[in-house]
A and B are shown apart, each in its own frame.
Chain A
Amino acid sequence: MRAPKFIIVGNVDDGKSTLLGRLMHDTGCLFADQMPDFIEGENGAIDFSHVSDGLRSERAEGITYDLAYKYIQLQSENGQKQSLVVIDSPGHFEFTAKMVAGAVQADFAVIVLDLTRGFREQTQRQLRLLHVFGIQKFIVCLNKIDQVAGCGGAVAPVIYQNLIDEVTGFMAGLGANPPQFVVASALRGWNVAEATDQLPWYKGPSLREIIVRAARAASDITRSGQSRNVQPGGDPIILIQGEAGPQAMSKNWPEGARLFYTQVLKGQIRVGDTVSNLMAGGDAQNILDCKILKIFCGFEERNQVGEGQAASIVFETSEKSAPILFKRGDVLSTVANQRRASTKNLVGSLFWHLSEPLAIGETLVLSRAAKEVTATVVNIAVLGKDRGASPDRREIGRSAPDRREIGRNEIGQVTLRLSEPTFFAFSPNLPELALAQVRRLNSADAAGVFTAHEFQPVVLWLTGLSASGKTTIAEGVARRLKASNIEAHLLDGDAIRALRPQIGFSRTDRVQHSKYVAERAAELEREGGVVIVSLITPFAESRDYARNTCENFCEIYLNTDLAVCEGRDPKGLYKKARSGEIRDFTGINSPYEVPQHPDVTIDTAKSSVDEAVDQVFGLIKTLGIATSFDREL
């Protein structure tokens, strides 16, 4: 079992290293033979900051330069020892990238704040980044209470409460979980390992107790698989790490069988399961489903393997002649119909740490676990900090960005165009597939960190007769997306026609009109948008054009009966068409070519608006395009 990890962060001089040293000292995590190393000066006093600041330069400057990993055990209330990994992070602006690298590994975060100096910009930057890079549990330790005059008296609790309100408000603005607070003095050891009687007004637990509880919660959840919000028995996700050469094949295996090295990132797989490659990117000819013939975990052959295990798997193909085309970095699942889960248009948050800013049009190399892909930066939006908003997913399409380039140690929202369809998980709980390290083309140096957003660009195209319910359902879908903080683009056929009065209803005009809408939709999709189109689109050629123009295209067919539509006739158009007042009216005197392979079919005569919207979201989920794998919409 892995020990839970937490990152400890603090602005320079807020006392982070001293707090960590104090915690380790007072909880018996230090060895007797190491103690002389921590003693500084002639009077033989322990300098607690030496415990984690192990480099010569760090001790000379009194600054943490780099991440350090400490492996400790803390006592819980019932006397048991809880193993923990501490990721001690630099707090200086200069080393922000190292903090991000620490944050992505951590189960929770401890933020140290000098309460005599208040809630400053660097701490705000740290909290924002911790939130964007997946920290969900925050423990804020308000340090140096011993320096507040009369800290046992009446003033200190007021300072303490004001700071709590300030930090809590800031976190709410980010959309982050509210932090837990503790007041302490690292120097004097108050409320670090044990609760102090020096602060009678503080009734809460010590920092140690809070950390142990958070660790328990993290490891309990990891055990049941819920920390990653993964539902037990859900669709498996398997990452291919490599392939064994042909000489590794046993003669007893069928012809064409191949051995691959994999990690089961989620769910469970069994011998006999059929898997498909989620990286195939919608090209039907690339899809070759394979069957699992054998599973090895270490030296053991097994019938099944579960989440978090490294497995070597022998696959066999259904067609002997066709070779298995899995490559390193491919992602497999047993779910059918997920072939469009990979995408070329990708939206996410990007933290940049080079001094030369990132601009639109640049080419980057994205490395996620076991996979490298090049990407062009199509769009950048950096939001001003005065808005107090984090440029995370909730800001998509909402406000005009302040700047179109990302400077050093800044975070922005980017839209990327990948060189090949690549599978990203859009989930902070599958970092193997949600995170990527970014480099500039032709450079070996890391330049930034990318995390994919939960919702990815997609075009939802509603086709059907007039009054079949397209606009109503489109608005319903948009409303539901908005509840998840996604601002969708609504392209309504009638509304666009109003802007283009020269377009008529002849076949030529209709084809030209839907072509125009398809191109606008594709443009918005490329910029990272979720686009909902409601347009009759009566001709197959128009729908084919839209499918080919857009990257992630979903055809939603409303097959509501003509009689039902005519009965509704909200604008009296059917009446006019029947009377001959309108010519070329779809369904009456102009044909509607029924879609042959829609992604979903909805009969609005039989389902309510809510049910219809459910169906659309079900589709989004199955396709894996516009949602995480692990969150119910």
Chain B
Amino acid sequence: MNTAFANLEAESIYILRESAAGFRRPVILFSGGKDSVVLARLAEKAFYPAQMPFEFLMVDTGHNFSEALSFVERRMSGIGRPFYVRTVSDAMARRGVTLDPIASRNQLQSHALNDAITELNIDALISGARRDEDKARAKERIFSRRQNPSFSPAANVGLALSSAKGARVAAGWQPENQEPELWPILNSKLQAGEHMRVFALSNWTELDIWNYIRDEKLEVPSIYFSHERDCFKVGDVWMAPVADQGSAIKSTHRVSGVRVRTVGDMACTALFESAARNVDDVIAELKTSEISERGLRMDDKTSRFSMEERKREGYF
């Protein structure tokens, strides 16, 4: 048995329209990364010539690549829909926690996200996360119910900062208890105190995303392409110093040809040496790559189950 959708685009448009029909306040998570770029384009197409009913949300860790931030501003200013930015530093300030200027804030994004769910009364968060990214992502439904967060007190946040396992934020993922999803039927029923996570690009692969970016001539942040940058070496990869690290890093080098594979918090997103200067180069490089997409994400290296653990703790 197979669905009629001839291609991934029709499948994603179907999911986006079901989200529009099924939820009161569906919000698209927009990071400026390649997946959210494709997602925003599909959302525009799904409702054309009318306007999409979605709003947009970005969680700002304060450690973003400036190229990514300026791209996000540019793209969102033309989308004609409300765009909210919520910051990790505000979320932590509310909890009375002072942030380590250098440490990765990837895990702390969950707090800012959860605060936004409460503040904006969001009942569906739509993301461009894909199943082929990671072994824990591979287990995701397209519609995935989750408990709404409750405000996590400072004491717990302190734990989260000090321990790799982290504090349990209420909005945890429980993979054992996921109900069977009967594609193409998407169950938008929520019980009181729940919201939905929607993965509209579930079946796209990294290569599909880049092929679509090429075919649709979509703009992506320039850090996806080979460029010059001051970096420092960690093991066998390069990292870019976060802005407020300043002179704390002793030995940065001017590296002539580096790029990123994913757009994330600078403190956990490694760069690698590459000559890929445009989308075609990226696609060619990808076809022969020996490294997985998230192989350069330091946040996935804390343990064998780091993605699963973060999601159980309320990460998207």
Contacts and interface: CB of A to CB of B under 8 A. Distances in A.
Interface of A: 1-2, 5, 31-34, 37, 52, 54-57, 65-71, 83, 85, 97-98, 100-101, 103-107, 133-135, 218, 222, 227-228, 241-242, 244-245, 247-248, 250, 259, 261, 263-266, 296, 298-299, 306-310, 312, 328, 353, 367-370, 428-432, 434-437, 439, 444-446, 449
A261 B47 contact: yes
B9 interface: yes
B132 interface: yes
A429 B2 CA distance: 6
A33 B298 CA distance: 12
B49 A242 contact: no
Given A69-B132, A98-B180, A134-B1, 6 more contacts: A65-B175, A101-B183, A308-B7, A310-B9, A444-B189, A446-B180
Contacts of A228: 2, 4
B81 to A, nearest CB: 14
Contact of A261 (B7, B17, B135, B290): B17
B289 to A, nearest CB: 8
Interface string B228-261: 0000000000000000000000000000000000
A263 B14 CA distance: 8
A264 B4 CA distance: 8
Contacts of A266: 4
A409 to B, nearest CB: 12
A195 B51 CA distance: 55
Nearest to B130: A71
B5 interface: yes
A430 B184 CA distance: 10
Contact of B5 (A101, A135, A263): A263
Nearest to B179: A446
B21 A2 contact: no
Given A33-B291, A55-B136, A310-B9, A242 B20 contact: yes
B308 A54 contact: yes
Interface pairs A-B: 9 shortest CB-CB = A308-B6, A54-B135, A134-B1, A248-B50, A101-B180, A33-B295, A244-B50, A31-B292, A310-B13
Contact of A308 (B5, B47, B181): B5
A101 B182 contact: yes
Chain A binding surface, main DSSP class: mixed
Contacts, number: 193
A104 B182 contact: yes
B176 interface: yes
A312 B1 contact: no
B187 interface: yes
B164 to A, nearest CB: 14
Interface string B295-314: 10000000011001000000
B152 interface: no
B178 interface: yes
User: By CB atoms of chain A within 10 A, which of B2, B17, B46, B289 has the most?
Assistant: B2
Contacts of B135: 37, 52, 54, 68
Given A37-B304, A437-B185, A444-B189, A261 B6 contact: no
B284 to A, nearest CB: 15
Given A263-B4, A263-B14, A446-B187, A69 B138 contact: yes
B179 to A, nearest CB: 5
Interface string B172-206: 00011011111111010111000000000011010
Contacts of A296: 48-49
Contact of A312 (B49, B131, B185, B289): B49
A369 B47 contact: no
Contacts of B292: 31, 33-34
B90 interface: no
Contacts of A2: 5-8, 11, 203
A133 B47 CA distance: 32
A65 B135 CA distance: 13
Nearest to B17: A241
Contacts of A310: 5, 9-10, 13-14, 17, 46
Contacts of A244: 47, 50
A360 B50 CA distance: 46
A133 B116 CA distance: 41
Contact of A367 (B139, B185, B308): B185
9 contacts: A54-B135, A68-B138, A69-B131, A105-B183, A222-B6, A228-B2, A429-B1, A431-B1, A446-B187
Contacts of A32: 290-291
Nearest to B176: A65
B1 A104 contact: yes
Contacts of B304: 37, 56
Contacts of B136: 54-55
B2 A312 contact: no
B205 A31 contact: no
B46 A261 contact: yes
A66 B187 contact: no
Contacts of B44: 299
A436 to B, nearest CB: 7
Contacts of B175: 55, 65-66
Contacts of B8: 2
A242 B190 CA distance: 20
Nearest to B203: A85
B98 interface: no
User: By CB atoms of chain A within 10 A, which of B51, B145, B187 has the most?
Assistant: B187
B257 to A, nearest CB: 21
Interface string B121-133: 0000000000110
Contacts of A446: 179-180, 182, 187
A535 B207 CA distance: 65
Contacts of A368: 185
Contact of A105 (B2, B9, B291): B2
Interface in B101-153: 131-132, 134-136, 138-139, 145
Contacts of A328: 21
Nearest to A133: B1
A458 B268 CA distance: 64
A434 B291 CA distance: 42
B45 interface: yes
B219 interface: no
User: By CB atoms of chain A within 10 A, which of B6, B46, B145, B190 has the most?
Assistant: B6
B18 interface: yes
B3 interface: yes
Contacts of B3: 105, 431-432
A101 B181 contact: yes
B295 A34 contact: yes
Contact of B305 (A31, A55, A98, A436): A55
Interface string B1-44: 11111111111011001101100000000000000000000001
A610 to B, nearest CB: 34
Contact of B47 (A85, A312, A437): A312
A436 B185 contact: yes
A509 B134 CA distance: 75
B5 A241 contact: no
Nearest to B304: A37
A245 B50 contact: yes
A135 B138 CA distance: 22
B14 A299 contact: no
A105 B1 contact: yes
Contacts of A247: 50
A128 B134 CA distance: 32
A227 B1 contact: no
A71 B1 contact: no
Contacts of B138: 52, 54, 68-70
Interface in B35-93: 44-51
A79 B178 CA distance: 39
A267 to B, nearest CB: 10
A250 B51 CA distance: 13
A242 B21 contact: yes
Contacts of B49: 248, 250, 259, 296, 312
A103 B191 CA distance: 27
A68 B140 CA distance: 8
